Structure 1
């Protein structure tokens, strides 16, 4: 027999809670990381910028390539690149292989924020391990890997919410 209005069997949890809890966990990690980054001199960086900086990559990329990697239009990628350039995280340079194209490259500041982000994620994971235990965190990660489709770990998270 279902609990009234939930569609869930008695004693079980309603299905809508799972995605909300997963998203809340994601947001708690991201929000805390960005508070830490702000304290470390990166107050202007937003969560979407981290994805964009990863899409630029070590070797740089064109705005079209960044857009494809993020699952957004070239124009949307161009606007993000402009913001990142204004904040000093990327620079545009002539493509050495094709003088007609501009390549977006990470600056020292862009590399710094990515390094600090990686260190921050490690610290936050360690806090989850401290609170829940290493075995439970590892099991949660393993379970999530088992449930997501191949290729689900991608950079275009913005498109999941924008449609």
Structure 2
């Protein structure tokens, strides 16, 4: 957690600026974290206490069915990382491995009923939280914020491999 009392040496050098550059990513991350934590608290209350943010991204990547390699590509992670994630989803009952009807040599990962349920409940929670933000900011300002973030975000989406750019986690 970042403490407002912490001193940033860059701030000391650039006195007089009311909004230092490092504040924007911290605020964006804080908003992201606020939403994600609230969604997962809701999911825990609704029978999904083991659901984690990475699981939601992976379940979205699986969609209507995908090979482990496709899951890795869609998430921008290694095949090994995708394999570990799929194993965890299978262990939690969110996904299952099955043979591909079109190609008997290929294994496909599919959502289980429990996996579809956690996605549906998380979508409802995201919608509730967006409505709360709209009530605080106003719908026009919230739409403008969303449009502005789309305009500056990296084209082509995002990658889930946060550990790679945070500096590794382990």
TM-score calculated relative to the size of structure 1: 0.90
Counterpart Cα distance in 1 of 2:152 and 2:66: 32
SS at match of 1:97: coil
CA contact (8 A) 1:53 1:106 kept: yes
Q: Is 2:24 the counterpart of 1:18? A: yes
SS at match of 1:100: coil
Q: Is 2:166 the counterpart of 1:161? A: no
CA contact (8 A) 1:8 1:15 kept: no
| Structure 1 outlier segments of 4+, above 6 Å | none
Match of 1:145 among 147, 150, 156: 150
Match of 1:123 among 124, 128, 140: 128
Counterpart Cα distance in 2 of 1:39 and 1:162: 32
Match of 1:61 in 2: 66
1:79 shift after superposition: 0.8
Q: CA RMSD in A?
A: 1.5
Q: Which runs of 5+ in 2 are unaligned?
A: 1-8, 166-170
Counterpart Cα distance in 2 of 1:133 and 1:22: 18
Counterpart Cα distance in 2 of 1:125 and 1:61: 30
Counterpart Cα distance in 1 of 2:110 and 2:149: 33
Matches within 5 A, 1:54-93: 54-58=60-64, 60-93=65-98
How many corresponding residue pairs?
A: 156
Q: Which runs of 5+ in 1 are unaligned?
A: none
Counterpart Cα distance in 2 of 1:161 and 1:138: 30
